[in-house]
Amino acid sequence: MNGSARPKIPRRLLDGVLLLDKPLGLSSNDALIRAKRIYLAKKAGHTGTLDPLATGLLPLCFGEATKFSQDLLEADKTYEATMRLGVRTTTGDAEGEALQTREVTCDEAAIHAAMAHFRGEIAQVPPMYSALKRDGKPLYEYARAGQTVEREARHVSIHALEMIACALPDVTFRVTCSKGTYVRTLAEDIGEKLGCGAHLVALRRTGVGALTLEHAITLETLADATQAERDSWLQPVDALLTTFPAVHLDADATRRFAQGQRLKLSEIADAPAQAVRVRVYAIDDQRLLGVARAGEGVLAPERLVVLTA
C-alpha cells in the first residue's frame, strides 16, 4: 500500500435541514453529494428530485432529518415556469427535439381562459421521459429506444395557477400543485388547449410545503463560507414538520415515548381533539422526540429521533 495515501477525512454527525438553491444543469443527487462533501456530513438525503433543467428549492436532510424526508415528498410544491408556445418537443421541455411547429395566434385573454381549465383536480398522462417504471424499467429508457408505452392518466390537484408574464411566444406562470404533478405536461396541455402546442423552457421551484426560497443558499455560497457559517444556515429537524400540530410531554411521558410506548391521550394536556399526525416535544427542554399518530385515545409513536446536539 502506498505510504503517501491521504488519510480519510472524518465525517461529522450532523442533524438539520439545508434549504439549497439548486443551480441549472446539475442533478439533485449531484447537488446533494457536493453539499454533503462541503459539510463533511456522515448521512444526508434529499426530499425529491429536481430535473437538471430546473433550479430552485431543494431541501437537503442531514442525520436525523432524513427520517422525515418522505413527508416533504408528499407535500405540495410551488413553481415558476416559462413555456414557449408554438413548438412541441420529444421531452416536453427544451432538452428535446422539436416534433411540431404551429402558429401562435392566441392573446393574453385566451391564455388566461385556457389556464382556468387546469385549476382544481385534473387528469395527467405522465410523460414518456420520466422515471416512472413499467415492468421494472423507467419510462425514459423506453423513450430513448424510440418506444411509446401506454400510461394511465393520474389525478393531481392544481391549487393555484396564474400567468405572471407574457412576451409571446413565451409565457411565464406560477403554479402550486400536489405531489406527482408534471409541470412540463401541464405546459404541453395548456398549449394544446390553445391549439398551438408548447414546451417548457425554464422551471424554478420556489416552495415545498411550508418551506420557501427566502433562506435558500447556493452551492457557491456554501463553498466560500466558514464551517460556522454553514452550520448556522441549517434549519432544525422539525422545519420539515411545521404542518403537523405539536404536543408536549412531561418527563415521565417523555421517557415512555422515547422507549416506543403508546401513551393515553388523556394524559397529554395539549392532545389534539381529532385523529392526526403530530410532532412530539419534551415539555422541559422543548426537545423534538419524533412524530406520532394521535387517535382512538392513544398517542402511537411513528418515528423517533436521537439528536446529536
Question: Cα(first)–Cα(last) distance of the chain, in Å?
Answer: 38
Distance CA 231, CA 86 (A): 47
Q: Scan for cell 404533478, then name that residue.
A: 181
Indicate if 51 belongs to the active site: yes
Decide: residue 119, CB within 10 A, 0-12 exposed, 13-18 middle, 19+ buried: middle
The b/e string for 268-303 (b: 16+ C-beta within 10 A; e otherwise) is beebbeeeebbbbbbbeeeebbbbbebeeebbebee
Distance CA 34, CA 43 (A): 13
DSSP H helical segments within the chain, as ranges? 28-39, 69-73, 108-116, 139-144, 183-194, 219-224, 227-232, 251-258
Helices 183-194, 108-116: axis angle to 10 degrees equals 120
Distance CA 195, CA 177 (A): 24
Tell me which residue of 65, 56, 62 sits closest to 37, measured CA to CA. 62
Q: Which of 15, 51, 189, 238 is catalytic?
A: 51
Sequential DSSP letters for 247-258: EEE-HHHHHHHH
Q: Is the peptide bond before 301 cis (omega within 30 degrees of 0)?
A: no
174 close to 160: Cβ distance less than 8 angstroms: yes
Distance CA 290, CA 130 (A): 34
Q: Is 52 left (phi over 0), alpha (psi -120 to 50) or beta?
A: alpha
Give the active site residues: 51
